[in-house]
Structure 1
Amino acid sequence: MPKMLFVFNPNSGKARIKYVLLDIIKILSRGGYDLTVYPTKAPRDGYKYVVSNGAAYDVIACSGGDGTLNETVDALLTMEPQDRPPIGYIPSGSTNDFANTLGIPKSMKDAARCIVKGTPHPCDVGDFNGRTFNYVAAFGAFTDVSYATPQDMKNVLGHQAYLIEAMKRVTDIRPIPLTIHVNGNIIRDEFIYGMISNTTSVGGMKNLIGTGVGLNDGLFELTFIRKPKNPIDLQQLLNGFMTQSMQDKTQVLSCKCSRVEIESPQEVEWVLDGEYGGKHTKMVIEVKRSAVRLITTQDI
């Protein structure tokens, strides 16, 4: 009988897993797995447990927010590629961008069924100055808008809520001078926001990145927003957030890339998969192609 390790964050998403934990265990166990269940006790605890024990299992399932999945992926990358078990993911966070991209249902019980019914698919992983990220590395003015917007406001106003939250930050916009080395080009400009991503959704908002996103094509999407030069540019920027469209080429630098080097004369704060990624003046971001396998019921 194949062995599965199920690691979950009991506090993620207002601890809502407690209402369905037994159901999830039944679904995974009845799926034919010899199941070991491990609740995490602190940040990076899941990472440490998987590093120490993961190689003994045929499948690693995890439940939590983006941070829990990040810890699981990061732990598997310490193993040799041929020894990395596939990952099943049951999202329980508030945004779950990457799960949406993977086509994983919002229902935690349905997500567990997807692990039982699904098949492993190779997936690219990002490397940011030696630190792993699954789907987005971002900096700038609106980096935390999706995470800082109150959930009740999202429920009532939908995407208008993001616009309201973004407008609160307009007066705090500080352009960052950057030198970007990408695809043989050198770009020098001032930017107020930027992200390197491998997802179709960021902060629950789709269509900000563009089309043709492939999760295992060895390429990530680069989307940088230049400093608005006048009030009209600023209004177009806010309209872009409202309509979920950032396709104005005069304001947006966008391309696909497998590696990008970024330099700044000042420290830049980054967010990796919704978690604080530190301050940096030199950033090297590259793709580790097909570094892990994620279990899904759809092609990615």
Structure 2
Amino acid sequence: MNVLLLYNPKAGTRVFPDELDRVIEAFQNKGKQVIPHRLSGTDQMEAFLKNQDMESVEKILVAGGDGTIHQVVNTMMHLDIHKPIGIFPTGTANDFSQYFGIPKDIDGMIKVALRDTVAHVDVGKVNDRYFINVASFGNLVDISQRVNEQAKNVLGVLAYYIKGIEEFPRLKSIRATFELDDGHMEEDIFFALVMNGKSAGAFRKLAPFSDISDGLLDVLIFKKCPVIEIVLLLMQVVNGEHPKSDHIIYAKASRIKVSCQADLTSDLDGEAGPPLPLEIQVEQKRLQIIK
């Protein structure tokens, strides 16, 4: 059986290409033929996957960060590919892989990727796009898109904190309408997150009650509040204490509709997403993640 290896050479500290031979050797020693593909664009990746005999493919390995996994999963969903995914978390934050406790050292990554055990996990859908970890909109949510690659490589997740603090003086609220399953609400908010996983950016306890296989998404709405109270709120977020805050609405839902009068776009796993309005839903246990 063949194993496809899709790797982003620019992810994180850009060291994964130096480890390619070790990965290939480990799989060859198990009688698996690795077919590597250097990621440089979604069109090229889609063409590569279309040309593969999927009947002979055992699993698909992905080396990169959340954005890389996001692109691969969207392509797999578009092509209706159902294969286990092995993750080599070589990006900056690696939130999705954090959920499964995948090691950060290359030997540990290889050990996990060689396994046959999988977790059947949910994937979120926003309009005609998919997300693995988080969909968001409002102020601050596109920070990961605006932090330059050099800063991320040098500072890691600290770069997200610094960029966020820079944005505080310009923080403005927006009026948004939410439909959560059968519920309805309208709020003045700073931003909102719809979580499939537990963490985003550098916040490891952002959705402490999230279960990635329960068929539900965790919705966090950050309501408008005095800017001076935001620092305390962020400290609560770091410690996972924010669900009890008066400035947060924390709910679970399988279907969410979001609209607002402002001209806003969304962010999906750190990548630019579709503009509002958004229709969000869950495709339960659609992905197989090697663990």
TM-score w.r.t. the length of structure 2 is: 0.88
Q: Is the 8 A contact 1:8 1:63 kept in 2?
A: yes
Rounded to whole Å, the distance in 2 between the matches of 1:55 and 1:250 is 50
- Check 1:54–1:259 CA distance in 2 against 1; reply closer, same or farther (3 A cut): farther
| TM-fit CA distance, 1:63 | 1.1
1:67 corresponding residue in structure 2: 67
Q: Is the 8 A contact 1:51 1:76 kept in 2?
A: no
Rounded to whole Å, the distance in 2 between the matches of 1:252 and 1:245 is 11
Aligned length: 287
Of 182, 186, 195, the residue aligned with 1:197 is 195
2:281 corresponding residue in structure 1: 286
> Aligned ranges for residues 143-182 of structure 1 at < 5 Å?
143-145=141-143, 148=147, 150-151=151-152, 164-182=162-180
| TM-fit CA distance, 1:210 | 2.2
1:17 corresponding residue in structure 2: 16
- Percent of aligned positions that are identical: 23
Q: Is the 8 A contact 1:91 1:108 kept in 2?
A: no
Rounded to whole Å, the distance in 2 between the matches of 1:146 and 1:194 is 15
Rounded to whole Å, the distance in 2 between the matches of 1:110 and 1:28 is 14
What whole-Å deviation, never above 9, does each CA across 1:147-195 have from its counterpart, x for those lacking one? 739458857xx87x76554332111112111110003111101111111
Rounded to whole Å, the distance in 1 between the matches of 2:5 and 2:170 is 42
Rounded to whole Å, the distance in 1 between the matches of 2:218 and 2:233 is 19
SS of residue paired to 1:49: helix
- Check 1:283–1:29 CA distance in 2 against 1; reply closer, same or farther (3 A cut): same
Q: Is the 8 A contact 2:257 2:279 kept in 1?
A: yes
- Check 1:10–1:164 CA distance in 2 against 1; reply closer, same or farther (3 A cut): closer
Aligned-CA RMSD value? 2.5
SS of residue paired to 1:117: coil
> Aligned ranges for residues 1-300 of structure 1 at < 5 Å?
2-53=1-52, 55-56=54-55, 57-80=57-80, 84-145=82-143, 148=147, 150-151=151-152, 164-211=162-209, 213-228=210-225, 230=226, 233-241=229-237, 243-278=239-274, 280-296=275-291
Moved more, 230-239 or 173-182: 230-239
